[in-house]
Chain A
Amino acid sequence: EAGVTQSPRYAVLQEGQAVSFWCDPISGHDTLYWYQQPRDQGPQLLVYFRDEAVIDNSQLPSDRFSAVRPKGTNSTLKIQSAKQGDTATYLCASSRQVNQDTQYFGPGTRLLVL
């Protein structure tokens, strides 16, 4: 079974630039999560979906961050006008049913904002 895949693996930006991260969950997993993991900290949930619907985006900085999962499979997380404080690893995870099963993490995208 293929795991969660993410791209790109690394991104380096200047402040003010935009960036998009892409996630392909494990086939058959209806729930997809995006986490932000600052260096030496635990993952912090940004948003999660069941199929194409947003379940919780309360931790997503809505003025600059957006996330979509239009067909209930792949998902894109976008940062408009990145700030140095956005420097972190962005992890995508998926599970078979929301809160009913183990979450499997992708390799993450390491973002550095200069």
Chain B
Amino acid sequence: GEQVEQLPSILRVQEGSSASINCTYENSASNYFPWYKQEPGENPKLIIDIRSNMERKQTQGLIVLLDKKAKRFSLHITDTQPGDSAMYFCAASVRGSALGRLHFGAGTQLIVIP
């Protein structure tokens, strides 16, 4: 199986500052790491993902880092805005495996203070 740990569970930041969420995984075969954003009453939406052949990916104010040796990956939101306030979930899977599936972390509640 796979266990994904996500920290912190709650993160409060001032508007304009950066926010960082960290996840660790156990299965060294995991090769796909998506991040989902979930607003209250809404479904989770994919915001960025990274595959194991990359160490860094950046898009629209989001940066994902992957350290395969440490089995650790992280999401960094630069210049946070109130609209970034939401639950964020990391996940890991063995993409390409018939039995692989997404294993989600417990989530981080991000609160951006105006």
Contacts and interface: CB of A to CB of B under 8 A. Distances in A.
A103 B99 CA distance: 15
Interface residues of B, number: 27
A81 B81 CA distance: 44
Contacts of B89: 42-43
A106 B103 CA distance: 18
Contacts of B43: 4, 91, 105-108
B8 interface: no
A56 B95 CA distance: 15
Contacts of B33: none
Nearest to A9: B41
Contacts of B103: 45
A99 interface: yes
A55 B99 CA distance: 7
Interface in A45-70: 45, 48, 55-56
A99 B44 CA distance: 17
Contact of A41 (B97, B100, B107): B107
Nearest to B34: A102
A42 B6 CA distance: 10
Interface string A89-107: 0010000001110111111
B96 A45 contact: no
B93 interface: yes
A56 B44 CA distance: 22
Contacts of B49: 102
Given A43-B104, A44-B104, A105 B44 contact: yes
Interface of A: 4, 33, 40-45, 48, 55-56, 91, 98-100, 102-108
